[in-house]
């Protein structure tokens, strides 16, 4: 995360375009995640910044473009994290479990990102669709999954013939739901899916689920 937390220069305000932009993006991310696109207030973002509303329009053009910029940065961070994935030295079963765990951890550590994605879906992903940058960002995780799947299928360990995109959807579903819907789920069923003491339980459950699916004996059906 390219967040801004250098102390304010002691001598008072200095001009620093990059710093100002990054600070606006940081605060905007929080504000949009907090209140949704329409609930977010440009004035509020400006107020929580060391600069003014004028600068938001100067650098980003408007609220809509600011939200797009927030999404672009959030997805960039995710993709960079995915490039750190180092699981292909493991056997296919262990590799998939490890990948699921990393995905699980990443969702838990970035609730704001999850909220942004929920918000973007409410708006039909129109900002992603309108962003050149997000159109060609790709997904390193998908390539990793693809290779593990091939290796697992060739060795006969994996019986399911899913493709990488579907498996990614399966893993993401669980991780995403747990974070995104924790409030309604908690209120209705009295269980906090993100409670720290449940963390290991759900992490294992996800891995068990994915491995069971991939290695199941289909003849039993």
- Which residues of this chain interact with DNA, rule CB under 7 A? 13-17, 19-20, 40-43, 50-55, 57-58, 62-64
Residue 39 CB, shortest distance to DNA, in Å, is 8
Q: Which of 65, 23, 74 is nearest to 47 (CA)?
A: 23
How far, rounded to the nearest angstrom, does the alpha carbon of residue 33 sit from its chain's CA centroid? 12
Question: Residue 128 is encoded by which pair of tokens?
Answer: 């992603």
| H helices, E strands: number in the chain | 12, 0
CB 59 within 8 A of CB 53: no
Taking the alpha carbons of 132, 129, 138, 20 in that order, is the dihedral positive or negative? positive
Q: Which of 134, 140, 153, 199 binds a second copy (CB under 8 A)?
A: 134
From candidates 19, 22, 30, 37, binder to a second copy by CB under 8 A? 37
Residue number, 4 or 164, with CB nearest to DNA? 4
Q: Does 200 bind a second copy (CB under 8 A)?
A: no
Give the one residue of 30, 77, 105, 186 binding a second copy; rule: CB under 8 A: 186
For a second copy, how many residues bind (rule: CB under 8 A)? 59
- By the 8 A CB rule, do 49 and 23 touch? yes
Judged by CB under 8 A, does residue 83 bind a second copy? no
- Least separation in angstroms between CB 209 and a second copy: 5
Least Å distance, CB 19 to DNA, is 7
Place of tokens 């932009």: 21
Minimum Å gap between C-beta 8 and DNA is: 11
């Amino acid at each position: 995360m390219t967040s801004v937390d250098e102390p304010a220069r002691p001598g008072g305000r200095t001009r620093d375009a990059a710093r100002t932009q990054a600070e606006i993006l940081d605060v905007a991310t929080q504000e949009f995640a907090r209140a949704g696109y329409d609930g977010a207030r440009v004035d509020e973002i400006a107020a929580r910044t060391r600069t003014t509303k004028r600068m938001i329009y100067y650098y980003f053009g408007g609220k809509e473009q600011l939200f797009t910029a927030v999404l672009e940065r959030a997805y960039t961070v995710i993709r960079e994290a995915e490039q750190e994935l180092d699981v292909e030295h493991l056997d296919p079963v262990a590799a998939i479990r490890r990948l699921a765990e990393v995905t699980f951890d990443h969702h838990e550590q970035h609730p704001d990102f999850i909220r942004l994605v929920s918000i973007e879906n409410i708006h039909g992903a129109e900002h992603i669709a309108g962003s050149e940058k997000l159109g060609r960002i790709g997904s390193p995780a998908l390539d990793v999954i693809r290779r593990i799947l091939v290796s697992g299928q060739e060795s006969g360990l994996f019986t399911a013939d899913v493709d990488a995109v579907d498996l990614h959807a399966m893993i993401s579903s669980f991780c995403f739901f747990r974070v995104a819907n924790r409030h309604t789920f908690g209120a209705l069923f009295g269980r906090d899916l993100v409670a720290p003491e449940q963390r290991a339980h759900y992490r294992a459950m996800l891995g068990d689920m994915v491995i069971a699916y991939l290695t199941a004996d289909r003849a039993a059906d």
